[in-house]
A and B are shown apart, each in its own frame.
Chain A
Amino acid sequence: MSVPTAVVVASPRPRRAIRSETTRWLLAVPAAVVVLVAIVGPALAPYDPTRVIGPPGREPFGRYALGTDSAGLDVLSRVLVATRTNLLIALAVVLAATLVGLVLGAAIGMNESRRGPLGTLARAVNRFVDLFTAVPAVIVGLVAVAFFGGTVTVLVVVIAVVLAPIQVRLVRTEVLRVRGEAYLEAARMAGFSELRLTVRHVLPNSWGAVSENMPVIFGMAVVLTAALGFIGVGLPRPTPEWGSMISLGASDAATGRWWAAAFPALALIVTVAAASALGTALRARRA
């Protein structure tokens, strides 16, 4: 079982090295805009996002800035409110998945070459994590959310569990790299405990690669949340959420009324692209 990590982990070096400081800051601008919308957006929403406020299928750029969907809900208000929901879920997923990644990845990396039961356990957990990545994330998410119910907590936990293996593998690779460094050997000879070695030396030196991958995980979490919403296992309707909005808008799009699906889809794509640009900026910092 060898899923190439290149699929899920950001490429180690950008195609062209970004040298200028200004370019790096500019790359972070889209992400800042999206976060700003998530913070102030709901306050700017002109209507109640869960209430019918007008005739269904109204065109955008008229009385309703982004039109109304097939149920007569205001698309702009819903996109604005959904931005906060989707971003908060993805943010929680990134934090949870990275925490799991640090703990499990360090535990596996520090122990897997050991003899005895601890080493066997570490190798077994490692194999299990590898095995877990084999099943498509959407499918695990679909079944798990169906079992436990579509609430924010369940979504966060399920998506974090599905994406955590990526961070676990990344941390493990980093830990294995750091473990061979001379300063670690020196610290060990100075009589530091393994736990102290891990927390004081191994993890801080692994943090760079892990933090640079956080925007990638964020993007994947956003897409996965929306995919689950799209197939109807996410938050219950009419909670504003991009995936379920796109799904509702899909039948509209089939009759030529594109706006109910296009604007949440645009918000989703811009967010993923912003996260990706932020990731590039973070990687450029080290290059």
Chain B
Amino acid sequence: MKRWFARRRWWLLRVAALPVHLAVFALVVFFLVRAIPGDPVLTVTGGQIDPSRYEEVRTALGLGGTIWDQLGRYAANLARLDLGSSLLSGRTVLEEFASRLPATLELVTISLVLTLLVSTALGLLVLLRPRNVVSRVVSAYSRTAGGVPDFCLGVLFIFVFYASLQWAPAPLGRLDPGMTAPPAVTGFPLVDALAGGRPDAFVSMLAHLTLPVLVLVVAQSAIFVRLLAAALTDALDSQPTRFMIASGAGRRAVVWSILRRALPPMVTMAGVIYGYMLGGAVVLESLFGLGGIGQYAVDAVNSADLPALQGFLLVIAALTLVVFLVVDLVVMILDPRRRSGRTEVSA
């Protein structure tokens, strides 16, 4: 038994770290809300509140009693996954997010998969054919990484592909006007359209998703290709590669081994890009009217819906921490050298 634990020590520690990280984040959010200047009740209600309802709203915000009472209730509520109720709709924050999160995840996941495919192909091209015209364009673009923000690209694409060329549908929602949404089964719009037997809605959704996905792919590929080129160059310029070439391995085998050795840093990067894309989705959902959690959060800002914003931060934090956990575990499987209990290995 003891040996069983000893052998799996790293894995157990890494998984056990997740609830600790979540708790730290929840604590930060707790104090962030308490640091809001002035009276949050007045902020939320815009100063127009019936004095008889004052205490009610105050309790709804979790601000009744001493700070220790508040912290205790906050922890107890979180343990029951109770994030409070939205002040605007009255529904629980968890329900609001559960119905909207799949739409955001769909956008981000499609973009991530496409980014990985496109960037890997381009990264290899830059590595193997550096003098190719495409390679030159790609490496020039990738050096601007992050220089052209995603929202600028979004506006540019709307102007070019919608306003000028009329190739893309209007950036106003997920469906053509007049079309009814298919019944929500899984919450993922594309899946629901297929499951509900609505190929017309499916095609319309794809058309509406094309521009935002294109924006995310173009914006994030710059960063990813740049990182990938660095990882591939490292793998190319290493002892094992020299040994392989020296012992007469074929070009194909060498390229495969380079890819294999660049895989762990690639997985780490994919996790980082996932985080960037979540941030990008928040900005783009409002621009294209896609109605995921990003647009919900932006709307919550305008209506000063405090519980919704607090829940938004917690949901995003949980999501990114889980993604990083998965990334770390996958990297451990791919590269056993990183398991030896060291917490940090330079990528």
Contacts and interface: CB of A to CB of B under 8 A. Distances in A.
Interface string B144-171: 1011110110111011001110000011
Given A136-B279, A139-B282, A258-B159, A276 B147 contact: yes
Interface string B307-347: 00110110011001100100010000000000000001101
A5 to B, nearest CB: 8
Given A4-B268, A265-B152, A134 B324 contact: yes
Contact of A139 (B164, B170, B316): B316
A269 interface: yes
Contact of A255 (B36, B163, B223): B163
Interface string A131-160: 100111111101110111100000000000
A193 interface: no
A214 interface: no
A42 interface: no
Given A135-B317, A230-B151, A142 B301 contact: yes
Nearest to A230: B151
B291 interface: no
Contact of B149 (A7, A227, A253, A262): A227
B25 interface: yes
Contacts of A256: 159, 163-164
B32 A144 contact: yes
Interface residues of B, number: 62
A136 B297 CA distance: 14
Contacts of A231: 282-283, 286, 298, 301
Nearest to B37: A148
A259 B347 CA distance: 43
Interface stretch (A43-51, A72-80, A91-99, A218-226): A218-226
Interface residues of A, number: 51
A138 B283 contact: yes
Given A135-B320, A261-B155, A219 B146 contact: yes
B129 interface: no
A276 B324 CA distance: 29
Interface in A114-129: 128
B73 interface: no
A39 to B, nearest CB: 23
15 contacts: A3-B272, A11-B230, A15-B143, A131-B24, A135-B275, A135-B316, A138-B280, A139-B279, A143-B32, A227-B149, A231-B283, A253-B155, A256-B163, A269-B152, A273-B147
Instruction: Please give me the 7 A-B residue pairs with the lowest Cβ-Cβ distance, nearest first.
Output: A136-B279, A138-B279, A4-B347, A253-B159, A146-B301, A256-B163, A265-B152
